[in-house]
Amino acid sequence: MQAAIIEINHNQQLIAYNDKAIELFDSTSLILNQPFDYQSIFNLKNLDELEQQDDLIIVLNSQYFLLQKVVESSKIVFIVQSIEYLKKHLSKIKVVNHHAFAIFATQSVVMQKLIKQAKAFSMQREPLLISGETGTGKDLLANACHQYSERGDQTFLALNCAAMPDEVVESELYGHAAGAYPGAIESKKGFFEQANGGSVLLDGIDEMSFQMQTKLLRFINDGYFRRVGDDNEVYVDVRIICATKVDLADLVEQGKFRKDLYYRLNVLSLHLPSLQERKEDIAPLTKIFVNEFADKQGINPPEIDNEVFDYLSNYSWPGNVRQLKNILYSALSQLTCSKLTIKDIELPAQTSSKLSNFDNIENKTLDEMTKQFEKEILLKLYDQYPSSRKLAKRLGVSHTAIANKLRDYGIGR
């Protein structure tokens, strides 16, 4: 990779870097878990240079470099690329599809920040990891990142790894030689070969078996693989994008996901917020879906009553954007007038947010009652924060403490 990538936490301690960073900077300045003085290392006159803008030109070893900064919730990512290298390759760079992310409603600050990150990460070659709850649109974000990148005019293919046998996943990704399986008369190219020069989305990467994880890690590292039943190696240039609805770090701790693959995938990561976290986007999303439905039906879009937006914003949306779209489509398909009102929209009953009255406390000690109350709180919040890390952050305690309590109470996986 021609870009040096350096990651620090918000305490300005170095937490990760790639091989290009070692080539570009003095190794004595790249010490993990130690303060990273980026003002002196990047030759900045003052810190305001990088605080006021997210990319600027810097000089290192008498050469000009483009420095980009991406701020995430848990870290800050610096991307450093040679200006000379960029100039030499300008003629090879495809025209960027600037409208690739126009499908997303970005009224909320959290979505504005996400799209900004996604645009920066789209231009890199490293694997991209997209996380988010079911229904948040991880596949749409993956496709938008591909369209926005230099590979946008090349093939984009997606494979859902969830609940798929190893032999199917292997054949779909890597292809197979003639005679590899009973009935396999001809050889077949897999997704990686078909998408050579483009991108492949592996949705549900958390469901991939250890054996398939090992093969994927090797492919990501060097770009080579073998078709099933073939001894010859094949090389392709493919951008890997992975999507998951669970916290891979939790799976690593549980021994259900390879640690080396996790750290290889988690170089550039994007997290899609739930609809609950971006309620400012519900109104524009509603307009988008209403217009989309009308366009498909070849009719004029109905007027939307103002009460509809407040009505939809007060709902919890466990199914996120997908659920919002489905409910609006259902309402519109039954609409008999030219105005959409709350009477036309049927929302599933929400789970009560009230905790129990703890009527059954007779003969219980204070410790037993406290644990009963604690368990009910964790059960309630786990639906909204379905990983020990997210829940720990919400409750302001350590990840280890929450993980132990979830295990003790049998909550979650």
pLDDT tens figures, 275-285: 999 999 999 99
Contacts of 223 (CB under 8 A, 6+ apart): 235, 236, 237, 238
- d(C-alpha 147, C-alpha 166), whole Å: 29
Handedness of CA 289, 291, 296, 301 (dihedral sign): positive
Q: Shortest CA distance to 226 belongs to which of 218, 236, 234?
A: 234
pLDDT tens figures, 356-399: 545 556 667 777 778 888 888 888 787 777 777 878 878 877 87
∠244-245-248 over CA atoms, to 5°?
60
- What are the tokens at 58? 């810097």
State the pLDDT at residue 368: 74
State the pLDDT at residue 163: 66
- d(C-alpha 85, C-alpha 114), whole Å: 28
Phi then psi dihedrals of residue 66, to 5 deg: -95, 120
pLDDT tens figures, 19-71: 888 888 877 788 999 998 888 888 887 767 677 666 788 888 778 888 888 88
- d(C-alpha 174, C-alpha 164), whole Å: 15
Q: Is the pLDDT of residue 96 over 70?
A: no
Contacts of 63 (CB under 8 A, 6+ apart): 82, 83, 84
- d(C-alpha 244, C-alpha 261), whole Å: 14
**Bridge partners for 79 per DSSP:** 5, 68
178 vs 241, higher pLDDT: 241
- What are the tokens at 90? 């300008």
Q: Which amino acid is at 148?
A: Y
Mean pLDDT of 6-13: 91
With beta carbons less than 8 A apart as the criterion, state whether 260 and 251 touch: no
- DSSP string across 47-60: THHHHH-SEEEEEE
- What are the tokens at 100? 């690739």
- d(C-alpha 350, C-alpha 383), whole Å: 12
- 3 state SS of 24: helix
Q: Give the pLDDT band (50/70/90) at residue 353.
A: very low
pLDDT tens figures, 113-126: 999 999 999 999 89
Contacts of 234 (CB under 8 A, 6+ apart): 193, 224, 225, 226, 227
With beta carbons less than 8 A apart as the criterion, state whether 132 and 271 touch: yes
Phi then psi dihedrals of residue 65, to 5 deg: -135, 150
